[in-house]
Amino acid sequence: MSDEQLSVDDYIAAMPEGMGGLNEKMGIELVEISAEKVVGTMPVEGNTQPYGLLHGGASVVLAETLGSVGSAVHAHPDKLSVGIEINATHHRSATSGTVTGTATAIHLGRTTATYEVVITDERGKRVCTSRITCALLPRERFAD
């Protein structure tokens, strides 16, 4: 994988467990992938808290997914990425439709990668802002 935009299907096919069980349950779909920018969507329906609002934790899962994908692209082929820190500010609620997250790289280093993730509703209104940092670890640490 390089810094160029990748095929979403090729990226998912290269992962040991595809999108992963949690992402599949939450309906997260990747739209665009590169080390510099990752875009994905998630339905509000099925990802709500008891009052019918988008669950803040669901927004964090979307943010972590997008930042982790970007850092994995940046780290490939010699390293793997693992999340080490994430935070989120929830600005407004969403009650229906789809939210879109855009992860933009703010640091692509040798040992860490950091992304700002902006999640918006269908009107383009900001729902959440998150920041995720991933450690980039030598691939051989994960060999059997």
**Which one is catalytic: 64, 85, 116, 140?**
64
- DSSP-assigned letter for residue 141: G
CA terminus-to-terminus distance, the chain: 23
| 64 tagged catalytic | yes
According to DSSP H, which parts of 41-108 are helical? 56-75
Amino acid at 33: I
Nearest 5°: CA angle at 119, between 37 and 56? 130
Beta carbons of 135 and 81 less than 8 angstroms apart: yes
What is the CB-side half-sphere exposure of residue 25 using CA atoms within 13 A? 7
From CA 144, how far away is CA 116, in angstroms rounded?
Answer: 33
What residues are labeled active site? 64
